[in-house]
Structure 1
């Protein structure tokens, strides 16, 4: 059955999400019919980039709300708090979010991927991993065994999350950062790029450096 799909967000990660969707379409022809993109405040540059690849900008987020109930969506917005706010708006429409896993990503046995999640090319997800709703696992990142990511988490390119780690809602792990095994990061944490996290991190804290502080 073909899925009619709209991507939310015309910015950088929105267009990366389009790449994932198009890659799925190449390996599974007919699985997805991309209707276009919605964005409440697209820049002229991003509109031009969508136009150049032949993808229509349908209008603001409210356009998605008017679509038939079977139309599904992906939120291609990199910021976890903004993504969470958009998801809460869309929850009211009671429509289903799509799960987009790039064909060049790997997902291990007994892993569970939440609705709305986007897994980019080269990402590696190990065994018995749980991803919450609308999680983003960027290109080349690694999620170790038995790890739990809650809703709206972003794992940026090249990050390594070791085994048995727990990451709370709306947390962002920066590019090339490392989270050591067995640690817990609470909600709304920001881990700076290339940081090495060696201890638990409480809610609302930004850490950076090696070791991360």
Structure 2
């Protein structure tokens, strides 16, 4: 088993703990040393304790020889954390065993998928991509680095998603749409046309 540290004690960080435990139930893979967080709240401290997971301290507490999962929901915060980390850390893919994966799937480092994710054929995702519970990623979709697809979102086929995009919970992105870097799709939105960089769209149809 390999040592693993999770960065982030919030909701996504604790759901990543569930993913790690689910992986270990199938094949013992990870020895979870604990969680680091620069701003641990009392609520998250008690929630970690209830899970039996140690709090190791702020970001500088990551052991040099441990694998690391950046389990923070905000794409921009994930990118900032990566810039702050010193040394050549290993960022493994943590894929929940219930994830279904189509043929010809490729991904970068730091991928995290939660329970029930569905990935179609010929999907490509970049580094530090988060696919939240029950997200659906359609065929031939490309998602760049630091993308977050939130719970129950559906991304149709042949969608292009730029770096740092957040696709909100229960939203739908229709086939062939392009979403430019650092845009945000609001929860429950239906995206029917391309979205520009740094734009936030919401509603049905999304505007």
Return the TM-score normalized by structure 2. 0.98
**1:96, distance to aligned residue in structure 2 (A):** 1.0
**1:40, distance to aligned residue in structure 2 (A):** 0.4
RMSD of aligned alpha carbons? 0.9
Q: How does 1:52-201 map to 2 (within 5 A)?
A: 52-64=50-62, 67-69=63-65, 71-90=66-85, 92-201=86-195
**CA offset digits 1:44-89 (Å, max 9, x no partner):** 110111111110000011011xx233x1110110111111111222
Return the TM-score normalized by structure 1. 0.95
Q: How does 1:31-70 map to 2 (within 5 A)?
A: 31-64=29-62, 67-69=63-65
How far apart, CA to CA, are the structure 2 residues paired with 1:124 and 1:153?
16
**CA offset digits 1:139-192 (Å, max 9, x no partner):** 111000110110110000010001111101111000110111111101111101
**1:113, distance to aligned residue in structure 2 (A):** 2.0
**1:131, distance to aligned residue in structure 2 (A):** 1.1
Equivalent residue pairs, number: 207
Runs of 4+ in 1 over 6 A off after TM superposition: none
Partner-residue secondary structure (3-state), 1:73: strand
> Which runs of 5 or more residues in structure 2 are unaligned?
none
Partner of 2:19: 20
